[in-house]
Amino acid sequence: MPFTGLSDFIALLEKKDELHRIKPFVDPVLEITEITDRITKSGGKALLFENTGTDFPLLINAFGSDKRMALALGRDDLTETGNEIESLFDTLTATRGKMFEKLTAIPRLLRISGLLPSRINRKGSCQQVIHKDPDMSILPVLKCWPHDGGRFITLPVVHTVHPLTGRTNAGMYRMQILNKNTTAMHWQRHKTGAAHFEEWKKTGKRMPVSVTLGGDPVYTYAATAPLPENIDEYILAGFLRKKKVKLVKCVTNDLFVPYDADIVIEGYVDPAEELVMEGPFGDHTGFYSLADRYPAFHITCMTHRVDAIYPATIVGIPPQEDAWLTRATEKIFLTPLRIALQPEILDFHMPDAGVAHNLVIVKINKTYPGQGKKVISSLFGAGQMMFTKYLAVVSGDTDIRKYRDLLLYIFNNTNFRSDFLFASGPLDVLDHSSDNFSIGGKLGIDATVKMPEELSGKITDHEFNEEAVLNYLKDLPGIVINANLLRELPVVVTGVKQAGDVMAVEKAREIFKKAGMANNLRFILAVDDGVDVHDLFTVAWQILGNTDPRRDISFISDNTVFIDGTIKAFRKGGFPRRWPNVVCSAEDIIKKIDQEWASLEIGPFIPSPSRKSLNLLHKGSDEVAAADG
């Protein structure tokens, strides 16, 4: 069902028992984040903060479960959408056939054309209240984490237009409040908004920009979806909702926005102005993205519904609410990925610990030798997949969402020397681990079942001897291991204490080489000593986030690798870029929410997830807290 604003969606969430209303005042500065972090990581409900110190209630964690994600898109099961897209492509293909097939396809195509966005010549409900002297302080904008550079709008849909082609884009780029009518606009260099900005520079004119908040929740998802450039996000929204999106003209510029948005912020970016400093910001990687220069957005008008709700989200150490947006993308975009790029693809998965772009698992129907490597080469250059740092391709019957079985499958079907494909290419600008900004190493793993032609470098059969490994390790100095993991997989996780010893990682690597581990282990994973080696999710997140595959993976033998997932700020010679710290709540905020939890009436006490992350903070690295205030 379509929603005419967030109030409609909130009513459905409440009906489905998927919403907590929080009536006491909660400060948008740090406190809402601390509460939400506890609820999100414990699988809790959406939260409506009714008293934010402003006239606007705040909705958060609205997408934070499979059920709520499906409700937001009006589906019982999001796999339905992938099936519909596949059926659509089948229909279009059928029009090439006999005349009867073409005729039967016409009603279907007409219904599709009726889902295209349309412009209406009247005010929208988003324009019931108009502020021509806008003041952003009327909104409950969050300061999420202690070392954020300020308050950030975290769930905006930013509308831009190409100055020559007139093609529009609706993207999601965080916005830091600079003063009452100015924000920074964090569109990264790879994003369509940034491309439009570069084109507006050539015109010598101001670039119109309008931002919407709320409305039908399908708009939020469409703005995050990995659509090809120049494909209108509101076509996807109409297709998902089965109802075309109605757009209205803004009050102070010529852009069009959804008529049923909750809040609209209109203005412009002047390409002739100097860029402004934006950040730091506790980002979805689980680390702070450091301050950098971005354009200033000047606000000329703000409009909203009478009953407007302010939507927000938080990001930080995963999993957060954005994990469910990623899972929706897996289900919705499998068919387009297969049809447009690789017909052999059966499934793909982006594990939470990989924060969407650090790890992608792809399952294919393999029919010829070299096909796994072909898929790797293709996907590393395909759309937003170009940001992928680790890409593993499998075939056969393995379940790519059962990680223990998947690892065993990879070990059994991979010769590391011949099936590891190291490369270099673009990375997400938020990646902190590469020596150079937004470019670095990548690893493709061809873990498909090998055909006879591919077995010249035969996969070595390993006779894993758990007892022998444990005997080796018990006598090694300063080695902390996860013995429970070792009983299931030929993998060791070791904590390395770098403080005071710039050669600590190198020494650990040499210890494992000399200990003769090559015949018994496949992965030796090194993390910092503050990481709990028994917390495998955190280990995976740290390894994926802190590594450049070309730099940090070394061979102990042909089929045993040492992976250095420690922070690199302590290494000999230092690191060429600033190394950010992990994202955690402050101790005083944690204690305050502990004390006030009962008064919130949102269920049994939940301890702060930041408690276990405090050990990951490093005072000796180039810490955001020290560098930025």
pLDDT digits (tens, 9 = 90+) for 562-574: 999 999 988 888 8
The pLDDT value given to residue 462: 58
From 246, 307, 240, select the one nearest 122 (Cα to Cα). 246
Q: Which of 401, 427, 418, 458 is nearest to 549 (CA)?
A: 427
- 3-class SS string, 278-315: ECCEECCCCEEECCEEECEEEEEEEEECCCCCEECCCC
The model's pTM is 0.92
Helix-then-strand count for the chain, H and E: 21, 30
pLDDT of residue 457 exceeding 70, the answer is: no
Q: Give the bridge partners for 246, in sequence order.
A: 118
Q: DSSP states of 229-287 as a string?
A: TT--HHHHHHHHHTSPPEEEE-SSSS-EEETT-SEEEEEEE-TTSPPEEE--EE-TTSB
Q: What is the mean pLDDT of the chain?
A: 89
What phi and psi, each to the nearest 5 degrees, are found at residue 493?
-110, 125
Higher model confidence: residue 629 or residue 453?
Answer: 453
What pLDDT does 477 receive? 63
CA distances to 46, 47, 49, 55, 595 from 599, in Å: 18, 15, 13, 22, 9
The DSSP bridge pattern shows strands 263-269 and 390-394 to be unpaired
Residue 310 has pLDDT above 70, yes or no: yes
3-state secondary structure of 176: strand
Q: What digits encode the pLDDT tens for the residues 68-77?
A: 999 999 887 7
Alpha-carbon dihedral 595, 597, 599, 603, rounded to 10 degrees: -150
Report the amino acid identity of residue 367. Answer: T
In this predicted structure, the answer to whether residue 460 has a pLDDT above a threshold of 60 is no
In this prediction, residue 122 has a pLDDT band, given cuts at 50, 70 and 90, of very high
Residues 50, 274: Cα–Cα separation, whole Å: 39
Strand, coil or helix: what is 586? coil
* Cα–Cα distances in angstroms (integers) from residue 43 to residues 66, 146, 603, in the given order: 10, 24, 12
Lowest mean pLDDT among 192-196, 419-423, 466-470: 466-470
Q: How far apart are CA 531 and CA 616, in angstroms?
A: 6
For range 459-469, the mean pLDDT:
67
Please report the pLDDT score of residue 480 as a whole number: 74
pLDDT cut 70: percent of the chain above it = 90
Output the pLDDT for position 1: 58
- φ/ψ of 298, rounded to 5, equals -95, 125
Give yes or no for residue 278 having a pLDDT over 50: yes
Q: Which amino acid is at 35?
A: I
Q: Is 604 exposed, middle or buried (0-12, 13-18, 19+ CB in 10 A)?
A: exposed
Distances (CA, A) of 495 to 498, 506, 512, 531, 533: 10, 13, 13, 7, 7
Q: Which pLDDT tens digit goes with each residue over 91-103?
A: 545 544 444 454 4
Residues with catalytic function: 283
Q: What does the H/E/C string look like for 452-481?
A: HHHCCCCCCCCCCCHHHHHHHHHCCCCCEE
In the block, residue with structure tokens 């369509």: 192
Rounded to whole angstroms, the Cα distance separating 585 from 144 reads 9
Query: What's the rounded mean pLDDT across residues 105-134?
Result: 82
Q: What is the DSSP string of 468-518?
A: HHHHHHHTSTT-EE-HHHHTTSSEEEEEE--TT-TTHHHHHHHHHHHTT-T
Least confident of 132-141, 399-408, 490-499: 490-499
Which residues touch 437 (CB under 8 Å, ≥6 apart)?
429, 577
Average pLDDT of the residues in 115-138: 94
Cα gap 545→540, rounded to integer Å: 8
Amino acid 623: pLDDT: 54
320 DSSP assignment: -
pLDDT tens for residues 358-369?
Answer: 999 999 999 999
Helices (H), 59-203: 66-72, 79-94, 99-113, 192-203
CA–CA distance from 526 to each of 103, 185, 210, 523, 553 (Å)? 62, 37, 46, 10, 11
Is residue 156 scored above 50 in pLDDT? yes
- 483 phi and psi, to 5 degrees? -70, -30
Q: Are 250 and 210 in contact (CB under 8 A)?
A: yes
pLDDT number for residue 85 = 67
pLDDT(191) > 50: yes
Torsional sign, CA 520, 513, 569, 547: negative
Nearest in space to 393 (alpha carbons), one of 420, 426, 353: 420
pLDDT more than 90, % of the chain:
69
